[in-house]
């Protein structure tokens, strides 16, 4: 991908340390690309090392600051805190945090155990709070920042067949609202983005059948596939100084489904 001249350029993102979770594939990889091409200093966390290193190779000579990758299981909060410390030491205090990582594996209501429930919360919700907790002192010292939490329209439709995931995604909206007020006096903005049915490689591989696409188009006002870059461009805006008066808000990117 190259920076499309039809879309906005944000000078306020140049040289800004940005941390993105789940950045090796899908929507996260598109965010890594978009921030890197804006001239930001991008760090991303994932467990998919091969995909992460391939993404970095694509940008070695294409942006001022090639993205940096840290391998970390986001369920391991102690290690996650160490990674945040390493990123700050090497790149400067994180000024933009994108809490993107999640897992939408399907699961049946009657088969959920307490252990599986706790694991889904750890995968989809808990790390968002602890990353905010970890990066906020550096943001405060640096004079402020922007945090973007990724939710989903799954809880608004509501979706079925993945109730633990839907619960976590609903909770992220509440987390966003309280953190916006916790951190607002320190000039830290906290907003939420709720994508609809985005055509990622994972969706295409696992669930994107002709029947599913027909259902999606039946609900959407805009009759086209949503792509990862449609989400990434909104996240860029919320990270930039162009949105400096916006916090405590949730933005839907779903082509008009809800």
Active site residues: 165
Sign of the dihedral defined by the CA atoms of residues 127, 129, 133, 136, in that order = positive
Q: Are 173 and 192 in contact (CB under 8 A)?
A: yes
159: left (phi over 0), alpha (psi -120 to 50) or beta: beta
189 bridge partner residues: 146
Nearest to 248 by CA among 168, 192, 187: 192
- Using CA atoms, how far residue 32 sits from 67, 160, 236, in Å, is 7, 30, 10
**Separation of alpha carbons 30 and 24, rounded Å:** 9
Burial, 210: exposed, middle or buried (Cβ in 10 Å; 0-12, 13-18, 19+)? exposed
CB atoms within 10 A of CB 208: 17
Burial, 205: exposed, middle or buried (Cβ in 10 Å; 0-12, 13-18, 19+)? exposed
């Amino acid at each position: 991908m190259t920076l499309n001249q039809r879309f906005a350029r944000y000078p306020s993102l140049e040289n800004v340390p940005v941390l993105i979770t789940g950045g090796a594939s899908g929507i996260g990889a598109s965010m890594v690309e978009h921030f890197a091409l804006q001239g930001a200093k991008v760090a991303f966390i994932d467990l998919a090392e091969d995909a992460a290193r391939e993404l970095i190779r694509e940008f070695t000579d294409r942006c001022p600051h090639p993205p940096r990758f840290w391998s970390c299981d986001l369920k391991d909060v102690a290690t996650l805190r160490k990674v945040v410390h390493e990123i700050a030491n090497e790149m400067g205090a994180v000024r933009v945090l994108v809490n993107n990582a999640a897992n939408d594996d399907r699961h049946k209501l009657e088969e959920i155990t307490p252990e599986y429930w706790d694991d889904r919360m750890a995968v989809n919700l808990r790390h968002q709070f602890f990353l905010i907790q970890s990066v906020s002192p550096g943001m405060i010292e640096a004079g402020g920042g922007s945090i973007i939490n990724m939710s989903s329209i799954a809880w608004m439709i509501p979706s079925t067949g993945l109730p633990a995931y839907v619960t976590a995604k609903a909770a992220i909206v509440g987390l966003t609202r309280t953190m916006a007020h916790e951190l607002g006096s320190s000039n830290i903005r906290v907003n939420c983005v709720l994508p609809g049915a985005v055509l990622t490689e994972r969706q295409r591989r696992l669930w994107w059948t002709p029947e599913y696409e027909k259902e999606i188009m039946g609900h959407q006002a805009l009759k086209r596939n949503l792509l990862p870059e449609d989400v990434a461009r909104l996240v860029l805006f919320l990270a930039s100084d162009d949105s400096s008066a916006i916090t405590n808000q949730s933005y839907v990117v779903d082509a008009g489904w809800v």
